[in-house]
Structure formats: structure tokens, C-alpha cells
Structure 1
């Protein structure tokens, strides 16, 4: 069941604003959360995830690591003390059968799951937070809507 639904669009037109939101978002995430990230190519999903993971590492006094898109590997894993963050990119997958072996929602006890391009997933899991990234009409501005988490 969602914690809250935000109908307001939050401006992400600069990297500074994206980082600030990711920092704030990082304080609200808990083990078991699953985050779907929707949006066109290049709209800032992976950038947001990089800032998010790096903030969690910083808060835990860990070395900041390079966070890249797992477009070709499908999954990047980050161990942050007792929490594991799974970062999936499902862009290249074409059928539901291809995701069955990924065990996306199997063991979420000490895991935060971040999924870019989740459109292929038919059933939405519990503890779901949805982030919808959008370009403005001019493609110069960007915004996000958050469903399932109250910031």
C-alpha cells in the first residue's frame, strides 16, 4: 500500500536539483522497497540513481563508487553494510519470459530494488514506489512525479 501519492511535478531541470531530490529520497528508502523508474532515454533516471546510491554510501561513511547503467549486464549490485541495492535496467528485454530468471522480487528482506524500464513487468509488487521522469515541452526542462512515497 502506498505511503502517499504526489500529483505534483517536481522540477529536475538541473543536476543540482536532481542531486538534492536524490539525497532527500535516500533518507526515506527502506529495505524491501522496490522503485520503478519510468521515462524516456536520457531523461535522468540513471543520474538520479547514481546520486541516490552515492548519498547512501556517504551516509554510511563508505567509499563513493562509480554508478553506471546496467543496460548490458541487466544488474549492478551495491552492498552498503547490511543492505544490498539491486539496480536493474530492463530496456533490452522484450518478453516477460526473459525476466523470470532475474528473481526481481525474490529476496527483498535486506534489499532495495531499483528498476529502470519496468514496463515489461505485468504485476506490481508491494512496497512499490514509482518515479515518472518527464521532459518538458522544450526538452530543456525535466520533472518527476513520485507515487508511493511522501517526501
Structure 2
């Protein structure tokens, strides 16, 4: 069964708990194994980097998996995640942006903002992320392959 790896920093912790509960009670529970990579409790001194690294490594090493990361703005976790070869992390502020990220970039990590998105926006973004499909046209394949040319990890 494909997996969804989820992680957050302290600012995204409450939103992460909402996401875990939502995924456990929707149609997605039968399609994905949900793996929480932390934190287990709110740790005000944590760094988003640790969770972005853990989720990115897990997604890269697990076929057909996806990742969801949550922090205050979504920027820091997206920047960290995109340092990894094979990771295509997008900030999913709107369902349309998420749809385009899946369609054109084959995004495999969704980064969400706990400060600028409410639960309904988060739920819509995740639904689009999990429903969305990649359009395997030559130009998108070529562009996505180029993303990994200068990756450092």
C-alpha cells in the first residue's frame, strides 16, 4: 500500500493533528498507509528542517509515496525538501496551485501553511494533492528531470 509521510514543526503541529484525524476518517484511509514522522508533542524549540528532511528521505526511499509537511508559512519546509534529488515539493495555498503542481510537476510533497490556511483550505489542498495526476507530456518530463541535475542530496 502506498504511504503518506507527514511531519510538522511546532507551528504546524495542531494542523498536523487535524490532518491525521481527517485522513483516518476519509476514503484515503483505504488507499494509503499514513505515517507520522513527528513531532509527537509540541516542541517550541524544534526546527522545521528536521521534519522536512525526514519526510523527504522517506518519500524518496519509498516507491509511490507522498509527503505532507506543515509549518507556519510553508516556505521553509518547501525549501528544505526541495534540496533532495527526486523531491518535488510545492506550497499548496490553493487547490488550483496544488492541481497544477501535480499536473505539471508531478509534485510528491505538499507543503502547507498553518498560519495562512484554515482547516477547510488544508483539507481541500490535500484532497487535490491525492486526487491529482501527472500529465506525462515530454516537456513536463524533461523539465522535471532537469530539477534533479543540481540537487545536492
Higher relative contact order (CA 8 A, sep 6+): 1
- In proportion to residue count, which structure has more helix? 2
Q: Normalization by structure 2: what TM-score?
A: 0.37
- In proportion to residue count, which structure has more strand? 1
